[in-house]
Structure 1
Amino acid sequence: MSPSLATRLGWRALLLPLLLGGAASAEPAHGLAMYGEPALPPGFDHLPYANPDAPKGGAVVSAELGSFSSLNPYILKGTVPWQLTFLTSESLLGRSLDEPFTLYGLLAESVEAAPDRSWVEFTLNPDARFSDGSPVTVEDVIWSFRTIGTEGHPRYLTFWRKVKSIEPVGERGVRIAFNAPDRELAMLAGLRPILKKAQWEGLDFASSDGFDTIPVTSGPYVVEAVDPGRSVTLRRDPDYWGADIPFRRGTMNLDEVRFEFFGDETAAFEAFKTGEVTIMRETNPARWATAYDFPLAREGGVVLSEIPHQRPTGMTGLVMNTRQPIFSDLRVREAMIQAFNFEFINDTMTGGEQPRITSYFANSPLGMTSGPAEGRVAEALAPYEASLPPDALEGYALPVAEGGERNRAGTRRALDSLMQAGWVVADDGVLRNAQGQPFAFEILLENGSSEVASIVDMYVEALGRLGMQVTVNSVDPAQYKQRTDGYDFDMTYFRRAVSLSPGNEQALYWGSAIADEPGGRNLMGVRSPAIDGLIERLLTVESTEDFVATAQALDRVLTAGRYVVPFYQWNAALIAHSASLRHPDRLPLMGDWPGWQPDVWWWEPRDPAN
């Protein structure tokens, strides 16, 4: 869907499948929507953004930055290519990228949920098989839920803690009951990965070696070759059990999917220019406009595709770790935002082409509005008024620099805020507190991203003018993961995508309960009764108006908390790829999102004469 069409339809039309209320009676169905009914009818032929006539064959090679140390994405140990979760493993249901939150049958041929979503029941497809040919059984499903929920990666813990019981129903059924009022749990149950129980007998699941014990899964691709730390090659399983079910028809068309890892962006781009890599995502509009004029592109061997989406912006920037005393004071965090000269940095990096991220749910109806909170939003915030950050009720907006490199007004505001927090510039030009301690901290980066490093360099120069002592430390991926998993950092690069259907994942991103659990995603370390309460409210409201108002209220509290120095947003993905790699013209609502590339792409050799 194009942006102009989205504008004509209005956001309410896009959200309608998600937000329509009304509880249907419990009966087996081909899919499950968060609210209302799935958009696709029983017996649908294929997902609307897939091409059921796409040819099979060919290969895609993508450029990835950094390295990896494991092929098991379900445990905390090791760094894993993120795509494995989506291409090699499967869940009971699969997500449609054309609806805010609707799932359709995958390993399960049908799903049934209580009207209040207090339980959900899945019936396995009798044809479901693991890649070794063995059937997917109810025993595998129950073992997977329990094991991943108790020994797996911390991101699975929140869901498992809300499971009251899980038990078999006949030969192919599994019923899961919940101990909390949470409408999203039935949906999340459909998205848990299913592994083969027999593979793990006698093995320590949480400590398994990432290369010697590759999980046996039921997905369309299997791991064919591994060069540890450098490349992973996946092969399309010719005997894949689900090739012709509606959710998969027209997808997973490429015979080979390979991930090549590079130490930095320059090396990755050079590999693309020579054809060694056949697809890569560009994040800088200035490079997009000027850097893709090389021989292979001029000969027609490269296509530049701009893929719009209708998702919220999420948050990208530099996150401050509030566990560290230096960033525990909101006034200090405000100063850090004031000192970031977005207008100058954006002009330098992108030619001023990219709009700034203004809040976590901006670019959507779930984003906070300007000015004071009113109506349902104010009602949602009222119980937490005493603990809210400044401006959450009155309205908070990011500062706008007057232009130029020096950002004098922003620097003055930053110094004023720092002074209120007890920091002043001493006679030696160093920012110090009352005890004479200097304002010193480290920005931790992962090797490879020259764009982020360039932004940080300009930012550090501005911070130096405030008298701050800033160290930038770039480390390899393994060390970066170890340090961020243990929250051993002051400030680091941060990217958190959010959807049109925020729910339980919000507790993983910024909830108090797991703020200190190793490997969590609440990097800022926020502990807020308002954020926790609003997340719970998101999971239980039953009307369109209350859902939107609660999301807007949450957006206000997160943004006014000043946890991240925001960068610019990407409302379209910039994908450069071989001219032989094709995708359907019909784009999904979510755009370039897991489940679209390489899933619905195919290989069709180009005619050099054209």
Structure 2
Amino acid sequence: MKPVFAGQFSLISASFGLAAAGSIALAEPQHGIAMYGDPALPADFSSLPYANPDAPTGGRVVTGEVGSFDSLNPHIQKGRVPWQLRFLAYESLMGRSYDEPFSLYGLLAESIDTAEDRSWVEFTLRPEARFSDGSPVTVEDVLWSYETLGTEGHGRYRGLWDKVETAEITGESSIRFTFKQPEPELALIIGMRPILQKAQWDGQEFTESGLDVIPVASAPYIITDFDAGRSVTLTRNPDYWGKDLPFRRGTNNVDEVRLEFFTDAAVMFEAFKAGEINTFRETNSEKWRTQFDFPAVQNGDMVLSEIPHERPTGITGYVMNTRLPQFADWRVREAMITLLNYPFISETLVGADAPRVTSYFSNSLLGMKEGPAEGDVRALLEPHAEHLLPGALDGYTLAEGSSSERNRGDLRRAITLFEDAGWTIQDGVMTNASGEVFTFEILLSQGSSEVQSTIDIYAEALARVGITPTITVVDGAQYKERTDRFDFGMTYYRRSASLSPGNEQLAIWGSDAADIPGSRNWMGADNPAIDALLQSMLNAQTQDGFVAATRALDRVIASGRYVVPVWHNPQSYLAHSVELHYPEDLPIYGDYLGFHPDVWWWEE
């Protein structure tokens, strides 16, 4: 493949770049950058606050995943890839501290420089930075990585690249990105893109690669073995160039990380009980309480750890595809949400009234407050009143449900909502005035037993109002292919959220993403109010403005009634080998990216 640097992107020689730089008032290069204000850690910090700089090295982590894989390239649209590879095998210019809402510190780059309005950002590479084959990481590698990922890579990379006006090499080890329009977050996001080795892809088709190319890494781990579809083994590189960096001190301590794949969640759990994998993340609190008393736990070979966090809930539930006429009316979507009797399902499957997801940023300061919108939040919403659904301004809450399976009150309310939307029960079947029957397909991925159990109970409630959905279970490959092209009526939907939501929200909620295959806008949200509030959030100049914009956005997407929400866990449940340890000082994100296995260690 021959990379082309054309259009608005320009590769400018070092001599020209240095000359240009002399005519611009530069800010002082820094060791790190924060979304607002200054990063918490000083330039001479010794390690991340949640890492143990004295942790021993050695041992192995073996994790389990339900599904399979047919590619080792996590940067393209094609194929199924172990999701961990994007983080374990690739380094970025800057690294994120998960003890702060959004702060980055130098990794491949030794410093970052940016304009006061963040209209451009410049990185200077560390001279010691190396790929796993020992070759230096150069600014040419950086430029090639950004251009290639931005034009031929996975869709998650393209939105940012579209916002770049120029990418310029300004010196032997420096590169500058200038943005079409300044947004405070862009200077940070662009520092987090993976850096690939340009030479490895010379003459190879980047977009078609699968298992035939084992990536040359720049991160602490390299892929040393794999069994197609079944396992991948990553080994800690003893010659990793950055092992003495403060950012890396006390991280990547385990010698081997092995990713095992299983066709079914139940089979994976049995493999854990038998010791075939040594770490297991559980999401069902009832199962955690009742099914983790097996012999390995009783004799102390396995440890049960509960790890709290302070991040938003995100969303977990069943997304409705509003591209279909059945789900285009908000009253139908409200009825569908009302029919999921949460207290009964929670008690049946979780064994308790587990906390429910009430909005996309609940469990954090970014979540909408109860009752009518006030102050800056209301001021942001009112200009878009014509595009707001009931509840956005006056307050939106979920149906309370009942511990009774029949839940008659909510059943009557749902029927009224259907009638208001033009659907009535005729001869026991939900039908509209044209005689069309209300039905749809619920698409599920093979092996998701908990999801299947929830849907079985939900389907019984739907039957009481004359709705009989088709429930289709497909393998992982078909599921990805169908969700990529939005070929479903309803399906399981889970999206995490951070304390610094930003440009990634465009791919979830932006109208431009609604019809892009492979985007995360599975619900088909297409609302000018959402688009405007996303821009308010992205361009907020202060922390207070950012919080107000996010709370306003939360109100609009929650009242959009796109997802039938279920439970969330304010803590993570991790069962693991007694030899595996993690620091006592936890990051505010808890068990999130950058935690497991990054700061864990093995000790006999």
Taking structure 2 as the reference length, the TM-score comes to 0.95
Conserved 8 A contact 2:341-2:402: no
Matches within 5 A, 1:579-598: 579-598=578-597
CA apart distance, 1:443: 0.6
Indicate the SS of the match to 1:165.
strand
Partner of 1:432: 431
* Cα RMSD after superposing both structures: 1.1
Alpha-carbon deviations, 1:573-603, whole Å to 9, x = none?
Answer: 0000000111111111100011110001111
Conserved 8 A contact 2:36-2:543: no
Alpha-carbon deviations, 1:489-521, whole Å to 9, x = none?
Answer: 110000011111111111011111121111101
Partner of 2:134: 133
Report the residue type matching 2:230 in the other structure: R
Alpha-carbon deviations, 1:195-222, whole Å to 9, x = none?
Answer: 01111112221222x1002332201111
Matches within 5 A, 1:151-300: 151-208=152-209, 210-300=210-300
Taking the aligned partners of 1:126 and 1:138, their CA distance within structure 2 comes to: 11
Residue 27 of structure 2 is aligned to residue 26 of structure 1 = yes
Residue 449 of structure 2 is aligned to residue 442 of structure 1 = no
CA apart distance, 1:25: 7.8
Partner of 1:495: 494
Report the residue type matching 1:485 in the other structure: D
Matches within 5 A, 1:18-417: 26-208=27-209, 210-417=210-417
Taking the aligned partners of 2:410 and 2:436, their CA distance within structure 1 comes to: 24
Conserved 8 A contact 2:60-2:256: yes
Conserved 8 A contact 2:343-2:353: no
Partner of 1:11: none
Report the residue type matching 1:423 in the other structure: W
Alpha-carbon deviations, 1:237-281, whole Å to 9, x = none?
Answer: 111111111111111011110011111121111111111110000
Matches within 5 A, 1:560-579: 560-579=559-578
Conserved 8 A contact 1:438-1:469: no
Taking the aligned partners of 1:328 and 1:25, their CA distance within structure 2 comes to: 51
Conserved 8 A contact 2:119-2:182: yes
Matches within 5 A, 1:595-606: 595-605=594-604
Taking the aligned partners of 1:500 and 1:583, their CA distance within structure 2 comes to: 23
Partner of 1:5: none
Taking the aligned partners of 1:363 and 1:328, their CA distance within structure 2 comes to: 29
Partner of 1:506: 505
Conserved 8 A contact 2:342-2:402: no
Conserved 8 A contact 1:319-1:491: yes
CA apart distance, 1:401: 1.3
Conserved 8 A contact 1:75-1:152: yes
Report the residue type matching 1:337 in the other structure: I
Report the residue type matching 1:315 in the other structure: I
Taking the aligned partners of 2:193 and 2:454, their CA distance within structure 1 comes to: 37
CA apart distance, 1:181: 2.6
Conserved 8 A contact 1:25-1:115: no
Taking the aligned partners of 1:238 and 1:247, their CA distance within structure 2 comes to: 17
Report the residue type matching 1:400 in the other structure: E
Partner of 1:13: none
CA apart distance, 1:478: 0.5
Conserved 8 A contact 1:224-1:234: yes
Alpha-carbon deviations, 1:528-554, whole Å to 9, x = none?
Answer: 111111111111122232211111100
Taking the aligned partners of 2:406 and 2:144, their CA distance within structure 1 comes to: 59
Indicate the SS of the match to 1:260.
strand
Structure 1 stretches (4+) deviating beyond 6 angstroms?
A: none
Indicate the SS of the match to 1:211.
coil
Report the residue type matching 1:108 in the other structure: A
Taking the aligned partners of 2:256 and 2:402, their CA distance within structure 1 comes to: 51
Contiguous gaps of at least 5 residues in structure 1: 1-23, 606-610
Indicate the SS of the match to 1:29.
coil
Report the residue type matching 2:478 in the other structure: Q
Contiguous gaps of at least 5 residues in structure 2: 1-24
Conserved 8 A contact 1:342-1:567: yes
Alpha-carbon deviations, 1:460-492, whole Å to 9, x = none?
Answer: 110011101211111111000000011111100
Partner of 1:550: 549
Indicate the SS of the match to 2:552.
helix
Indicate the SS of the match to 2:225.
strand
Taking the aligned partners of 2:453 and 2:39, their CA distance within structure 1 comes to: 45
Taking the aligned partners of 1:262 and 1:583, their CA distance within structure 2 comes to: 26
CA apart distance, 1:353: 4.3
Conserved 8 A contact 1:401-1:410: yes
Taking structure 1 as the reference length, the TM-score comes to 0.94
Conserved 8 A contact 1:515-1:526: yes
CA apart distance, 1:45: 0.8
Larger mean CA deviation between 562-571 and 513-522 belongs to: 513-522
Indicate the SS of the match to 1:94.
strand
Report the residue type matching 1:386 in the other structure: E
Alpha-carbon deviations, 1:57-96, whole Å to 9, x = none?
Answer: 1001011111111111100001111111111001100000
Indicate the SS of the match to 2:511.
coil
